[in-house]
Amino acid sequence: MKQINHFRHKKILVLGLAKSGVAAASLLHKLGAFVTVNDFKPLSENLEAQHLLEKGITVICGEHPLGLLEEGFELIVKNPGIPYTNPLVKGALERGIPVITEVELAYLISEAPFIAITGTNGKTTTTTLVYEMLKAGQKLPLIAGNIGTVASEVAQEASNENTIVIELSSFQLMGIGEFNPKIAILTNLYDAHLDYHGTRKDYVQAKANITKNQTEHEFFVVNADQDDVMKVAAGSNAKIIPFSTKKILDAGAYINNGWIYFNDEKIMETKDIALPGMHNLENILSAVAAAKLSSVDNEAIYQVLHTFNGVKHRLQFILEHDGRKFYNDSKATNILATQNAISAFEEPIVLLAGGLDRGNEFDELIPYFKNVKAVVTFGQTAPKIERAAVQAGIKTIKHVDNVEKAVPLAYQLSEQGDVILLSPACASWDQYKTFEVRGDIFIQAVHMLK
């Protein structure tokens, strides 16, 4: 960890706790800042805040009082989930107080370079693949961000011999200042989180922040099959490394005659890849590019791709029971992710879907329902998904209260050779705290069938 004096004796407000807020407050306190923590949860119910109070950090809980802006704070470190429309955040920006996220702190103290991954879909799989490839290539990677340990905690332990592989959301990227990864990856861009960002333009700009500080000495790995991604690349000063599943490139990562190539070099045959789904080829190509740029040998890349079956909650194979294969894709919190999941299989599918209603319809799923034989719905969006299933001509459509009840019903509706797929196409927050909780309940219910 770099010993920096940047925050020493500065008054800093950490807004919102959870894991990243606790880590940020503790680190800033260690760096000599005068830290105040403000969290909406009451102190009596807030163990994290109580622990920070024991360290001598000022804690204000139960509300976000606007009067805090009169305290002379020089910086605010914001939990990524708190929107910029929050009155405290909005007031701070109007007063010229910088607002950052915890990722920026991690970058400022880190001795290790970063490989940073963002995009609408595929972030978690790509991040895991890059980490596993670097590990197989003995490059001493550490994993951080949404997929692993809080970035600023990882950065405190990292040396210049490590590389930090980090998954970043648009929320986190809105709050960076100097953050500059050695390698940045933009997997793809689709409409997402517009309730937070307001417009697609603002969402894309947040994603583009991943490359805003890069120079010709860094690399930006981008999806050459998407015009919006290439527009972001056109504004970058980094060396552009494209990848494509659809065309042969002069340079970068691509597929030719059943082989993965990087530049003109054959890496491995696609038939040897363990991870299912055409959409995962994008994730694989971007990870291969990052690995090759990090001097990982082809044998290590092959070893990972030949054995890697996916990350938990992302098209995760659970088990085969009575001739049925069960897959957990709880992380499919939007329509595109579910489209990709359905497209990954040729077998008949019993689909489990539903969740938080964000106002959209599900007509975009209809063309993908060709091999879906039955749909079991739950959650707020159940009626909308059922309407789409009826329009697609699906004869068997059932509704249940929750995921736990959906599993045995899906089993009853299935036959040997079928895939039973949880791919909700919706966020989980109407019924479950996180998509992980939803996925874990699915896994437990599947195991109960045995």
| Partner residues linked to 114 by β-bridges | 164
Q: What are phi and psi of 330, to 5 degrees?
A: -60, -25
> Which of 334, 328, 342 lies closest to 362, judged by CA?
334
Report how far residue 346's alpha carbon sits from residue 425's, in angstroms, rounded to the nearest whole number: 19
Report how far residue 405's alpha carbon sits from residue 289's, in angstroms, rounded to the nearest whole number: 42
Report how far residue 46's alpha carbon sits from residue 56's, in angstroms, rounded to the nearest whole number: 16
* Domains, in order of start, for the chain: 11-100 (3.40.50.720), 103-307 (3.40.1190.10), 316-448 (3.90.190.20)
Whole-angstrom CA distances from 299 to 153, 236, 270, 305 are: 32, 32, 14, 10
Report how far Cα 413 is from the mean position of its chain's Cα atoms: 33
| Known binding-site residue numbers | 119-125
220 near 239, Cβ under 8 Å?
yes
Report how far residue 3's alpha carbon sits from residue 11's, in angstroms, rounded to the nearest whole number: 19
Residue-level pLDDT, tens digit, the chain, 450 residues: 998 999 999 999 999 988 899 999 999 999 999 999 999 999 998 999 999 999 999 999 999 899 999 999 999 999 988 888 899 999 999 999 999 999 999 999 999 999 999 998 889 899 999 999 999 999 999 999 877 789 999 999 999 999 999 999 998 999 999 999 999 999 999 865 566 666 888 999 999 999 999 999 999 999 999 999 999 999 999 999 999 999 999 999 999 999 999 999 999 999 999 987 777 899 999 999 999 999 999 999 999 999 998 788 988 889 999 999 999 999 999 998 999 899 989 899 999 999 999 899 999 999 999 999 999 999 999 999 999 999 999 999 999 999 999 999 999 999 999 999 999 999 999 999 999 999 999 999 999 998
Report how far residue 326's alpha carbon sits from residue 320's, in angstroms, rounded to the nearest whole number: 6
Q: 268: Cβ–Cβ under 8 A, 6 or more apart, which residues? A: 259, 260, 298, 301, 302, 305, 306
* Residues 351-371: tens digit of each pLDDT: 999 999 989 999 999 999 999
| Known binding-site residue numbers for ATP | 119-125
Report how far residue 362's alpha carbon sits from residue 44's, in angstroms, rounded to the nearest whole number: 42
Please tell me whether the overall predicted TM-score, pTM, comes out greater than 0.85 for this model.
Answer: no
Strand duo 316-321 + 324-328: pairing: antiparallel
Q: 346: Cβ–Cβ under 8 A, 6 or more apart, which residues? A: 371
Instruction: State both tokens at 52.
Output: 């920070």
